[in-house]
Every structure is written in C-alpha cells, then in structure tokens.
Amino acid sequence: MTPEQISNQFSIDGTVATIKPFGNGLINTTYKVRTSENDSPNYLLQIVNHHIFKNVPELTRNIERVTSHIREKLEAQGAHDIDRRVLTPVKTNNGEGFYKDDGGNYWRMFLFIEGAHSYDQLTNIKQAEAGGRAFGQFQKLVSDLPGEPLYPVIPGFHDTEMRIKNFNERVNENPVGRLEEVQQDVNFLLERSDEYKKIIQMGREGKIPQRIVHQDTKFNNVLLDENDEVLCVIDLDTVMPGYVCYDIGDAIRNGANTGKEDDPNLDNVGINMELFEGFIKGFLQETNGILTREEKETLAFGAKLLTYEQAVRFMDDFLDGDKYYKTDSVKHNLIRARAQIKLLKSMEENFDRMEEIVSRYV
C-alpha cells in the first residue's frame, strides 16, 4: 500500500496534500503528511521497525500511556502550546494505535510538531543544558505514572550482568578467531566487570527504585523551538522500566564526547567536561526534587557505565564476526570499541571532578 492509502486509514483532519520522507532517524521510516486546509494540522507517519521492536502492540501501549499522562499533567499545570510539548498519537479509523498493512509493516501517526528542529551533534554548553533539561523534564513528568510497570520493550537492554556473562562466553569461544589481536582491550574490559554490575545489584537490593526511562537519549531526539528552548523529547519506542542513571549516562556518552563514536583517531576522543557539566546542570535542575540521594550519587557513574556497556557490546560483536551492528569495514566494530574504551579511560581520569560537579548541582 502507498503512504497515501495508509494515511487514509488514520483519523485525520483535512485532506492529504503531500507525503514526503522526513528527518534523518536511523531506526524507523518517517514521512511528513501535509494537509491542504490552512486550519487542519500536518502529521508525521512512521513505519515502526518491527525487526528491532518485536512487540509493536505493547510498545504502542507504552507510548499511549506515557504521552497521555504527560498531556494530563501539562493541562493541569495550565501549560500553553501543549501540542508541541508532548507527542500526540493519532488513532486509526478503527480506534487502533497502529495500522498493520498486508506486507506486515506497522504504521503509526503523530501530530506533526511545527516550528521545531533538532541537532545531530551538540557544540556548546547551552545545548548540553537543554539536553539535560529535556530528559530531566521527561523524567519528572513520567515519575508518577499510575498503574502497572511499562512493558519491557527490549528485555535485558541494560542488564550489565547478562551482557558481561555473554561477553565472557564469547571470549572463551572465540568463534571467528579474532581474540588474539584484541586481548589487551578485552582484558581492560574484563578487569572492570565487577565494578559495572553495581547498578543492577543496587536495584536488586532495593537501594535505587525502578523508574520509567527513555533509553534513547541522543540529542537529536530533543525538539527545540525557534529560540533553541526545549519543546519535548521524541522517539519513545524504547521507553521502559530502568534506572535513572541510564538516561543521563547515555546522553553524556553520546553528547559530551570530544570525538566521534567510531573515531579512528583516539586522540580526538575524551570527555568534554564543560558539556558534561551542562548535561548535569540541566538534568538536576528538573529532577532534584524527585530523585533520591542514592540515585543522585549514581549519575556520574552512569556516564561511565553506559560507556563501558557500549564498549563491551561493540567488542562482543567484533569477536562474533559483526552479526549485530552494521559495519563499514572489517575493523569497524573494533574501532568503535576502542573509541569507547578511550572515552571510558578519560572519564575514569576525570571521575573525581565529575562527582564534584554533580554535588555542586544537587
């Protein structure tokens, strides 16, 4: 079916004028649907990547619960411009949250958020603060979602114990004979395996609560307005139960690196402490009142944890012959793993300062 035919399955105002591919997301396929009338809204149409997300109905329900809760809270606060402050799902004509076509694709629709933009890469402190604030606001808004826990869209996504167990098995198996050339890097990671089980253990012992986390806290999932002020966070597919340090930790891993995630020149890679501070400042401004003392003490550690975990995942896939991540070359996963290891070393060297910065904004 064409995107035009699909659009007509949804309960939209006005008549469809044009449909064009939109944005530069890597996971879902996205279109902008323009309507012809001046007073009817535009829409965003997406095919959900069901190879990554196996249970689209549960994922859709998570997003419905979270977005309608946020909308209610914004309304109760008397906020203005609410259609730009939270994603608004649009139902099908049959009242469903998605439309499954003959080819097995899952389509969904949101109101198009007008006058918004995002950046793939952030370059200054103001943007880092906006990133921290955006995910902090999100955390605050969902912190009192009633009802049962959300559906775990990707079970074990940040189960560090499980990832380390799998990694150990891979190292012992050495399935494609790549271990020898990376033994030093592997040792670096294995030496740290006990340290990075800490968050899972604290959770199990009840020292930190399970919350709702976003889990894809890249800066291009933050929509900003004309003045670069935060509108909202988007891309809610991975919203699920987890610990708060995962979100800010991954935002920092992604956004406060002086190099690229797959930088072949390790001299470029390290933690940018100014951007780190911006993220922490923005995040804690929003969440100071809701996080426990123990949780606040995990925030700087979270940046290291998410970097460690990503290094393990890249190295694991390298040892496995590149089955999971798309690669440009035979060494791509190794280059990525080494860049994460370099970033982790840089965070370890700066960790006292990172903790000191957190304590300043608590």
Which residue from 25, 89, 209, 264 is in contact with Mg ion, where contact means CB under 5 A?
25
Q: Which stretch binds ligand ADP (CB under 6 A): 17-25, 131-139, 166-174, 328-336?
A: 17-25
Cβ pair 151, 61 in contact under 8 A:
yes
Closest CA to 303 of 263, 258, 360, 244: 244
154 forms part of the interface with Mg ion (CB under 5 A): no
Closer residue to ligand ADP, CB minimum distance, 25 or 152: 25
Q: How far apart are CA 228 and CA 12, in angstroms?
A: 29
Cβ pair 214, 238 in contact under 8 A:
yes
CB of 220 to ligand ADP, least distance (A): 5
Q: How far apart are CA 135 and CA 283, in angstroms?
A: 7
Largest Cα span, the chain? 64
Which residue from 2, 26, 227, 289 is in contact with ligand ADP, where contact means CB under 6 A?
26
Which residue from 35, 215, 221, 333 is in contact with Mg ion, where contact means CB under 5 A?
221
Instruction: Select the residue whose beta carbon is closest to Mg ion and give its number.
Output: 235
The residues, ordered by sequence, that sit 6+ positions from 303 with a Cβ below 8 Å of its Cβ are 248, 249, 252, 253, 256, 271, 276, 347, 354
Which residue from 118, 166, 193, 210 is in contact with ligand ADP, where contact means CB under 6 A?
118
Which residue from 3, 14, 23, 203 is in contact with ligand ADP, where contact means CB under 6 A?
23
- With tokens 């080494």, the residue in question is 338
Which residue from 7, 9, 160, 220 is in contact with ligand ADP, where contact means CB under 6 A?
220
CB of 204 to ligand ADP, least distance (A): 31
Cα separation of the two ends of the chain: 53
Cβ pair 112, 17 in contact under 8 A:
no
217 forms part of the interface with ligand ADP (CB under 6 A): no
48 forms part of the interface with ligand ADP (CB under 6 A): no
185-194 long-range contacts (CB < 8 A, ≥24 apart) are 185/315, 185/337, 185/338, 185/341, 186/315, 186/319, 188/341, 189/308, 189/311, 189/312, 189/315, 189/341, 192/308, 193/164, 193/168
CB of 25 to Mg ion, least distance (A): 4
Closer residue to ligand ADP, CB minimum distance, 74 or 116: 116
CB of 206 to ligand ADP, least distance (A): 33
112 forms part of the interface with ligand ADP (CB under 6 A): yes
Q: Which stretch binds ligand ADP (CB under 6 A): 24-32, 69-77, 146-154, 167-175?
A: 24-32
Q: Which residues pair with 233 in a beta bridge?
A: 222
Residues engaged in binding ligand ADP (CB under 6 A): 22-23, 25-28, 30, 44, 87, 110, 112-113, 116, 118, 220-221, 234-235
